[in-house]
Amino acid sequence: MTKRMMLAMLALVGVFLSIYLTLYKLGYIGSLQCAVGSCETVNTSRWATFLGLPVAAWGLGFYVSALALSLLGVQEQYEDRRWVSVALTGLTGWGVLFSGWLTYLELFVINAICMWCVISAVIVAIMFAISLADLRDFRAADASQHPAAISEPMADG
Amino acid sequence: MAKDRVDTGRGRRAEVVKKKAKGGSNSKKPFYAGIAVIVLAGIGALAYVSSRPQNAATTVDPNLATATDARGYVLGNPNAPVKVIEFADFECPACAQFATLSEPDIKKRLIDAGIISYTFHDFPLSIHRNTWQASNAAACADEQGKFWEMHDQLFNMQDRWNGQATRNPKAQFESYARALGLNMDQWETCYDARKYEARIKASEALALKSGAGQTPTFVIGTKMVPGSISFDKFKAYVDSALALAPRDSAAKGAAPGDTAAKAAAPAKGS
């Protein structure tokens, strides 16, 4: 299991999580009610929309992009492309900043914690860590270029 | 030739090279199997949550309110055949949704028609910063006979005074009290003294005791129904309670209004 495969799987989990939260926000799933520690306060607060779209929909876009990128990065033609790792690190880096800001709002402004949003924030943080590690593998490979190159002919043959 | 091969290997990671050496795309099978499992689990979970019955009703003791000193705020004929209790939080968006969308019809077609009596109990949740103050403002309006007017104002204007809008909601409440034509000195003295704290606490205790886990929660006859519900759903619960009501009172051999009248009397007097 390569790091990009792990990223793809985490992104896929995130896709479903954000589909759930988006449908919830749009009123297709569940019913509106206020319960202690639930997502209602968070998902009905004025911070639940960003630039006209539900925050959960932005999350969905993020996870779909990350899934597409990491699936691409798993394909043989792209396995050794460094830009995929750079893009994944950049994307998940933004994800960490955005969900960090949202978690801050939950804790200190809205004063309510939505469990699903916290799970999403944790997934994004793990994805960022894996992307960084993936990117670092390229550096390591650059440093020890020759051993890698020597095993190459066998691999292609 | 050999030099070419060295060049193609540039930047390629040892990890990837090893994988390829072991035998190409076969090593990706577990990965795609994992992806398939997540897709199936995800679709299954979404199908489950969307098909799960919303607002499942449970059966409770209809006389639970009379067992405590919580009196709430009563609307309608206390001797009506069906008693309805609402546990609500003024700062809860779902409660505001119910109050603005369903409650007008309920008032006109069920309360004013004498079919139900309606008792509002404060259930201020700790997640809402200003909700207790709102209950306080409403209790002080009740002192001047304007609880329901203040109740409507609070729910209509919820986004102006809730915990996200302000840390000091009193100014907003004051403007509603003034608009309702309350005696402002009396209202403000009451508000600052938290005169009805015990009354609000009693309702909160009743809500907790009855097992209400969210707001709004309704007790319609013997059914406890959580969540904001439409008028039609509400009416359906009232109808089934109505069908059961005569049989219940016949079995007990007592007038159904008896206990409710007792509960309502103090509310009327205040």
- Can you tell me the ipTM of this complex? 0.73
pTM over 0.90: no
Per DSSP, B110 falls in state: I
Examine the domain organization and report whether B200 and B234 are in the same domain: yes
Number of cross-chain residue pairs from A and B with Cβ atoms under 8 Å apart:
155
Q: Which residues pair with B74 in a beta bridge?
A: B119
Dihedral angle over CA of A67, A72, A76, A79, nearest 10: -80
Alpha helices in A27-114 (DSSP H): 40-44, 55-74, 82-104
Co-location of B134 and B220 in the same domain: yes
Residue B269 in any domain: the answer is no
Expressed as residue numbers, the domain containing B9 is 2-51
Report the distance separating Cα B112 and Cα A21, nearest Å.
Answer: 39
Considering only residues A25 and B149, tell me which one the structure prediction assigns the higher pLDDT.
Answer: B149
Q: For A2-11, A134-143, B196-205, which range has the lowest pLDDT when averaged over its residues? A: A134-143
Q: B105: domain CATH number?
A: 3.40.30.10
State whether B140 and B249 are in the same domain: yes
Residues B44 and B135 both lie in one domain? no
Q: Is residue B257 part of a domain?
A: yes
- Total of domains in chain B: 2
Residues B127 and B155 in one domain: yes
> What CA–CA distance (Å, rounded) separates B117 from B119?
7
| CA B205/CA B71 separation, integer angstroms | 12
Residue with tokens 């299991």: A1
Pair B101, B233 in one domain: yes
Give the pair of three-digit tokens for residue A37.
């520690």
Q: Are residues B243 and B222 in the same domain?
A: yes
B15, B49, B159 ranked by CB distance to A29: nearest: B49
A-chain residues near B39 (CB < 8 A): 12
Instruction: Using the 3D structure, point to which of B11, B29, B51 is the last residue of a domain.
Output: B51
Pairing of strands B214-215, B217-220: unpaired
Residue B221 lies in a domain: yes
Q: Please tell me whether residues B246 and B207 are part of one structural domain.
A: yes
The answer to whether A86 contacts chain B (CB < 8 Å) is no
Do B222 and B161 belong to one domain? yes
Is residue A55 predicted with pLDDT exceeding 50? yes
Rounded to the nearest 5°, which phi and psi values hold at B218? -115, 145
Q: Is B121 domain-assigned?
A: yes
Residues of chain B positioned with their CB less than 8 A from the CB of A38? 214
Contact B144, B154 (CB under 8 A): no
**A18-27 pLDDT per residue, tens:** 888 888 777 6
User: Is there a contact between B123 and B89 (Cβ–Cβ < 8 Å)?
Assistant: yes
| Residue B270 domain-assigned (yes or no) | no
| One-character DSSP codes across B202-237 | HHHHHHHHHT--EESEEEETTEEEES---HHHHHHH
What is the Cα A100 distance to its own chain's centre?
Answer: 12
Mean pLDDT of B149-159: 95
Choosing from B11, B27, B51, the residue where a domain stops is B51
CA of A24, closest CA in chain B: separation in Å?
A: 10
Q: In angstroms, rounded to a whole number, what is the distance separating the alpha carbons of residues B75 and B88?
A: 15
Structure tokens at B202: 């009693």
Comparing CB atoms, the residue among B9, B18, B24 nearest residue A149 is B9
Domain end (from B33, B51, B69): B51
Average pLDDT, chain A: 80
Give me A73's structure tokens: 């990065």
Among candidates A43, A139, A124, which has minimal Cα distance to A85?
Answer: A139
pLDDT in tens, B68-104: 678 899 999 988 999 999 999 999 888 999 999 999 9
Is the same domain home to B145 and B180? yes
Q: How many Å apart are CA A69 and CA A88, to the nearest integer?
A: 7
Is B95 within a domain?
A: yes
In a domain, B180, yes or no: yes
For residues B249 and B149, membership in a common domain is answered with yes
d(CA B173, CA B187): 10
Least confident of B44-53, B228-237, B261-270: B261-270
Residue B25: inside a domain: yes
Instruction: Establish if B235 touches chain A: CB-CB under 8 angstroms.
Output: no
Looking at the structure, tell me whether residues B36 and B153 fall in a common domain. no
pLDDT for position A25: 75
* Residue at B61: amino acid letter: D
* CB-CB contact of B78 with B260 (8 Å): yes
Angle at B6 between CA B3 and CA B7, to 5 degrees: 90
- pLDDT interval class at B255 (50, 70, 90): very low
**What phi and psi values does residue A34 have, to the nearest 5 degrees?**
-105, 115
